[in-house]
Amino acid sequence: MLARCWILVPLLVCHGQRLKEYNLWVCPHCERGVKVADVTDLSCEAQTSDDGIEWPWVKKAMKNFLTNLRLPPGQRALEHEVERLLALASAPLKGDCYLGIIALGFFAYHFMDTSERQNFIRTTVFGGVTFQKTVPLSYWDVYASGWPIFGLLAIAAETVQNDLQLQSLLQGEQPDVGLTGIDLGPRNCDFPGGPASKEDQRFMMALEKNLRGSDWLNGDEPSPPLPLRTTLEYLAQTSYRKCSWGRAAAYFAAAETLLSGNSVVSLAVWNSTKALVALGEHNLDGCEPNMTVYHEMQSVWPFWQILGRLEKRGLYDQAPDFTAALRPPPALPEAVRLKWQHLLHARHLKVEGKRLPMQAARPQEWGACLDDKADRAHIALSADLAQIDGLIVTLQSSVSSSANATKLCFHTFVLEQQKDFIVKGLTCAFGDAFETLDMEDHGQVLGAFTLHGQARLLIHRLDPARIWSEVGLNLTRPGAVMVGETDLSNSLRSDTGNLGALHNFARFSLHQLLPDLSRVVYLDEDVVVKGDLVELFQVPMRTERGAPGTVAAVQRSNQPLKTYVDVLQPAVPQWLPSEAPSFNAGVMVIDLERWRQRHASQLIAEWIAMNARRRLWLHGSQPPLLLLFHDEVVSLHWSWNVDGLGHRLNYPKNVLNEAKAEHQTLMSFSFFSFFQDA
């Protein structure tokens, strides 16, 4: 029966087209194809298909298929599972188990005849596009899903190479381009710059001996991994290469050795293994632009065999705590102290002493919002005319959710010429609940108001020249953000809005704009607040290990630092932990005193200037914060920033119910309706 399964080809070609359309599983906050697992169930263990497909059974049957593939026909077990898998692959598939559908496609590939296989692997989503378009996830996420994707790729690659030996029989029949128009001509990433070196030959022989052909597939116990010394020697000997597929194989081999060589997998080993896999992925997919899966299948290096054997070991089930494992060890107080000592000493700076508050007389009605003497919680926002709707909702939701709104002081920063329009908009929205307080000219404060007779709202003057100057930028024409002769405005925009807008950079100057405050909560103007901001304002500014922190924010364990900054680029001047979690700066507590004392804005300005020269990131004002504070951020409970609403549609109801701050990345009807419902 299996020999007659070539009839699956027309059906699977249709599947390839359908999969291309289905392939929308990308991070909406990322540009240029950054891959993040997000909150989807990668393993498909918790999902039931609309067609009643038992995806956990499919995964298990796929693993059994790989184990039995190289055995003689008489020794193969569970062949009835193969027939059932073929039946599934032949039928139209529905459901959200994308990795399961991909696995079925690579499985069925082995039952096509030679000419159909070549056409299929070159012109569909299974081979004619980049790995990112086939599986828009990081290699680690694919591995951690438990699906044997790399094992299936490894045996498919062997078939592709065997078929290419019959090239003369297929001459003129193979297309010249892949599914998306990518040139399928030969590439030279196996040995960039020339023929294989002696180091390449020695390392390849070591890998072949270690893998023993296809023995890595057979049996329940995989063969031992390659000795770590062999791998490290090869990496050291080939360090002159920017990237190569041999180095990719070496990084994957080192990851396998490290992970399988420990009876108990610690968090340190888990995170180190992830970093090695990321380096291998960078070498494999980043060697040349538009590198398709088909190109990689022709390589002489067994990188997918190594990853396939790692999948077979099943060590992803041994993570001590999968969520915690994505986080690095918290910073020690001494490490944080030494970091700042080095940063400041290298710039001939020192930690400044604590500033004394101004002794000038304060207006009685609202003066308590200008310093720390009163028991108030200070919240900073910055908005322009286009953001007034969001500002209204953020203010209303904050007051409504507070147990004692009289303790809230809002500081809203606006351009002076836009102040009257914004005040009229607030008056229209709040009606009698928005009252103006008497005030004389008070420098940077343009107006003082009360909300619902309880919270105080001060509107401050925002000086563009001062903001741009603080971070080393200058404004030469409307819409331009200049560093020297370089305009960064285009690189600071994304599908979530203009991340390079003046108001996004105002948070870097709060230490000057609010000179007599020692702490402030910063909110983006697209946040619906459902918790008490007084509670947030009073959070202890210490990390888990007691290190002092400058900022507190919700950490994104599933979106590491490498999501936002090209930490593997040689231009990065210092080592950065690629797997350190990022954080979203739309809801932050900032220790303004510590910020002032350590000249944080000057250091941020240096990162921004470096980005203009070396293009380390594309995401506006957030990456500089990550680069400076990633190792000392005080982790807030996740409920204080449930972000991406407007983009993400799959948050569980319990997450939304428990949220204390809903961050609307795109303003939606439900966002504005909050004010009407309140």
Region of residue 606 (phi > 0: left; psi between -120 and 50: alpha; otherwise: beta): alpha
Distance CA 484, CA 56 (A): 56
Say yes or no to pLDDT of 566 above 90: no
What pLDDT is stored for residue 178 in this prediction? 56
Say yes or no to pLDDT of 35 above 50: no
Half-sphere exposure of 63 (CA within 13 A, CB side): 18
What pLDDT is stored for residue 285 in this prediction? 82
> What value, to the nearest 5°, has the Cα angle with vertex 22 and ends 20 and 26?
95
What pLDDT is stored for residue 467 in this prediction? 82
* Average pLDDT of the segment spanning 48-56: 70
Q: Provide the H-helix boundaries in 478-599.
A: 502-505, 510-513, 533-537, 592-597
Which two tokens mark 282?
């960078």
Most confident segment among 487-491, 549-553, 564-568: 549-553
Say yes or no to pLDDT of 673 above 90: no
Comparing 501 with 139, the larger pLDDT belongs to 139
Q: How confident is the model at residue 8 (pLDDT cuts 50, 70, 90)?
A: very low
What pLDDT is stored for residue 577 in this prediction? 66
Distance CA 386, CA 456 (A): 23
pLDDT 10s digits, 379-437: 999 988 888 888 999 999 999 999 999 999 999 999 999 999 999 999 999 999 999 88
Which two tokens mark 105?
């496609």
Residue 560's φ and ψ, nearest 5 degrees, are: -70, 175
What pLDDT is stored for residue 456 in this prediction? 93
Say yes or no to pLDDT of 500 above 90: no
pLDDT 10s digits, 118-154: 778 888 888 888 887 788 777 887 888 889 999 999 9
Residue 464's φ and ψ, nearest 5 degrees, are: -55, -45
Residue 512's φ and ψ, nearest 5 degrees, are: -95, -35
What pLDDT is stored for residue 612 in this prediction? 74
Which residues sit opposite 617 in a β-bridge?
Answer: 565
- Mean predicted lDDT score pLDDT of the chain: 76
Comparing 292 with 253, the larger pLDDT belongs to 253
Comparing 358 with 449, the larger pLDDT belongs to 449
Comparing 591 with 441, the larger pLDDT belongs to 591
- Which of 132-141, 217-226, 488-497, 608-617 is the least confident region? 488-497
Comparing 68 with 359, the larger pLDDT belongs to 68
* Amino acid at site 584: N
Q: How confident is the model at residue 15 (pLDDT cuts 50, 70, 90)?
A: very low
Distance CA 25, CA 177 (A): 24
Say yes or no to pLDDT of 48 above 80: no
What pLDDT is stored for residue 123 in this prediction? 80
Instruction: Residue 385: name the closest of 505, 492, 502 by CA.
Output: 502
Say yes or no to pLDDT of 41 above 80: no
What pLDDT is stored for residue 183 in this prediction? 66
Most confident segment among 4-13, 207-216, 643-652: 207-216
What pLDDT is stored for residue 634 in this prediction? 92
Q: What percent of the chain has pLDDT over 90?
A: 25
